[in-house]
């Protein structure tokens, strides 16, 4: 059974997204990009833009499920709260369309791709290229979204 997965790397200024297909041990790159709300917009406008953009992605690519990174607690609580709001906007957009959402901690994503939970960014990027050679992410946020989708395809397998 082929599953279409939307991976999301949430952020208030840069929300990475990626769509892949997974069938057994086979993976196929479909598309990826970054949602870029203007920093000049009010917070509510940026969150609305994330919500609307993710909704549009879901309508365009029709994912069967979504994987999203869990935000770790930063040293600055305000930063954590802001990232959490961006993440919530994406989750609500997906959930509003009755698409299941799966949440993963950064270390679990790294471990699913590289075998090491504390792998560096270069190792994760290398595995993205090995597993999906047709993917050519232009930004770290886009690359992270691809990694999140791939990790989900590795960790959550249907019988």
CATH code of the domain covering residue 143: 3.30.420.10
Name the percent of the chain lying above pLDDT 90: 71
141 as an active site residue: the answer is yes
Task: Decide: helix, strand or coil at residue 55.
Answer: helix
pLDDT at 25: 85
The residue range of the domain holding 97 is 3-155
pLDDT at 159 over 60: no
Q: What's the DSSP call for residue 139?
A: S
Q: Which of 21, 65, 125, 141 is catalytic?
A: 141
9 as an active site residue: the answer is yes
Task: Decide: helix, strand or coil at residue 119.
Answer: coil
Q: Which of 21, 65, 69, 142 is catalytic?
A: 69
- With vertex at residue 22, the alpha carbon angle to CA 19 and CA 24, rounded to the nearest 5 degrees, is 170
Residue 118: CB atoms within 10 A of its CB come to 10
What is the tally of structural domains in the chain? 1
Q: What is the mean pLDDT of residues 140-154?
A: 94
pLDDT, tens digit (0-9, with 9 covering 90-100), for 88-127: 999 999 999 999 999 999 899 988 888 888 888 888 889 9
Weakest-pLDDT range from 27-31, 82-86, 99-103, 115-119: 115-119
Q: What is the mean pLDDT of the chain?
A: 91
Residue 73: CB atoms within 10 A of its CB come to 10
Indicate the pLDDT class of residue 157, thresholds 50, 70 and 90.
low
Name the percent of the chain lying above pLDDT 70: 96
Per-residue three-class SS string for the chain: CCEEEEEEECCCCCEEEEEEEEECCEEEEEEEEEECCCCCCCHHHHHHHHHHHHHHHHHHHCCCEEEEECCCCCCCHHHHHHHHHHHHHHHHHHHCCCCCEEEECHHHHHHHHHCCCCCCHHHHHHHHHHHCCCCCCCCHHHHHHHHHHHHHHHHCCCC
69 as an active site residue: the answer is yes
């Amino acid at each position: 059974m082929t599953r279409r997965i939307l991976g999301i790397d949430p952020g208030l200024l840069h929300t990475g997204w990626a769509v892949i297909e997974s069938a057994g041990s086979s993976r196929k790159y479909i598309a990826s990009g970054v949602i870029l709300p203007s920093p000049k917009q009010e917070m509510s406008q940026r969150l609305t833009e994330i919500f609307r953009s993710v909704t549009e992605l879901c309508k365009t690519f029709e994912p069967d499920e979504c994987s999203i990174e869990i935000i770790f607690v930063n040293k600055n609580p305000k930063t954590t709260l802001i990232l959490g709001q961006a993440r919530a906007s994406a989750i609500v957009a997906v959930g509003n369309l009755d698409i299941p959402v799966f949440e993963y901690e950064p270390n679990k994503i790294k471990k699913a791709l590289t075998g090491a939970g504390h792998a560096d960014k270069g190792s994760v990027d290398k595995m993205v290229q090995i597993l999906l050679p047709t993917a050519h992410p232009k930004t770290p946020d886009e690359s992270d979204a691809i990694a999140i989708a791939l990790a989900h395809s590795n960790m959550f397998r249907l019988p």
